[in-house]
Amino acid sequence: MASSIKSKPRKPSPTSRLLPLIDAKKIAQRMPGLAREIERDIKLRERPIAIVVLQGGFIFAADLLRSFSPRFEIDVAFVRCESYGTQTQSSGRVMLLQDIDPAIDLHGRTVLLIDDILDTGLTLKFLTEHLHRRGAARVHTCVLLCRSGRPAVPNTLCGFEIGSEFVVGYGLDYAGKYRHLPGLCVLDQSPPKRKRAVSR
Ligand code: IMP
Ligand code: MG
């Protein structure tokens, strides 16, 4: 199943460079605040379950989940989606590559969807609808990043607002690369400046 919007894929450039954007320390400092907000929004009697959106959300989810208080009992499951492929712009189609374990009964449950970035919002819209179809009563979302200027999505918490730049690191990739970087970097794809020739 796929939702679609019009978007123009951009060709990857061979001259990409990495410019630091948010370092690992700043990301770590944001985790307790996000965790406390979630603990306020979600009641334990709702039997919450965190659903981590792979692949981009795996490092963020690992840090966020470990920031919850031990009393905040939350189950964990995974789903895998793709909308970018090897491009730096959404294809406009969200593909469900791996569904949540069918043995998990979501009826009447509160879900916390954890993803890396809210860009066009298609992925989270697609997944929210999918979760409701599987019986979830409420879906909250927590993303590490969201793009400024995009309309707010209800029940969505965001770690940091960023601009339109394409970012990698801390789980986010470009064509499968850079997920392992401890902090977030902008993938600069502008052509490198020419060195001026030195005349003697
Ligand atoms: P959306 O469906 O347009 O909101 O896109 C969300 C998905 O696109 C995220 O889960 C990411 O996998 C991917 N994405 C969007 N922007 C970036 C980026 O700047 N770097 C890496 N992945 C991105
Ligand atoms: Mg993703």
pLDDT in tens, 57-66: 999 999 999 9
Active site residue 119: yes
Query: With a cut of 70, which residues of the chain have pLDDT below it?
Result: 1-15, 84-87, 90-91, 192-200
Beginning with the edge strand found earlier in the chain, give each strand of the sheet holding 138-147 in spatial order: 95-98, 75-82, 49-54, 110-118, 138-147, 156-162
For a pocket test of ligand 1, which of 96, 147, 172 has the largest count of ligand atoms closer than 8 A to its C-beta? 172
3-state secondary structure of 41: helix
Question: Is the N-terminal amide bond of 55 cis, ω within 30° of 0?
Answer: yes
| pTM, two decimal places | 0.87
Which residue among the candidates 63, 119, 173, 188 is catalytic per the annotation? 119
Beta strands in 106-155 (DSSP E): 110-118, 138-147
Ligand 1 atom closest to residue 56's alpha carbon, by position in its atom list: 12
* Identity of residue 44: L
Q: How much distance in Å is there from the Cα of 80 to the middle of ligand 2?
A: 8
Beta strands in 27-102 (DSSP E): 49-54, 75-82, 95-98
For a pocket test of ligand 1, which of 95, 119, 158, 162 has the largest count of ligand atoms closer than 8 A to its C-beta? 119
Which residues does 77 contact at the CB level (< 8 Å), separation at least 6? 49, 50, 51, 52, 100, 101, 104
Percent of the chain with pLDDT over 70: 84
As for ligand 1, residues whose beta carbon falls within 6 Å of it are 56, 83-84, 90, 115-123, 166-168, 172
Q: How much distance in Å is there from the Cα of 166 to the middle of ligand 1?
A: 9
pLDDT computed for residue 13 by the predictor: 56
Adjacent-strand bridge partners of 162 = 147
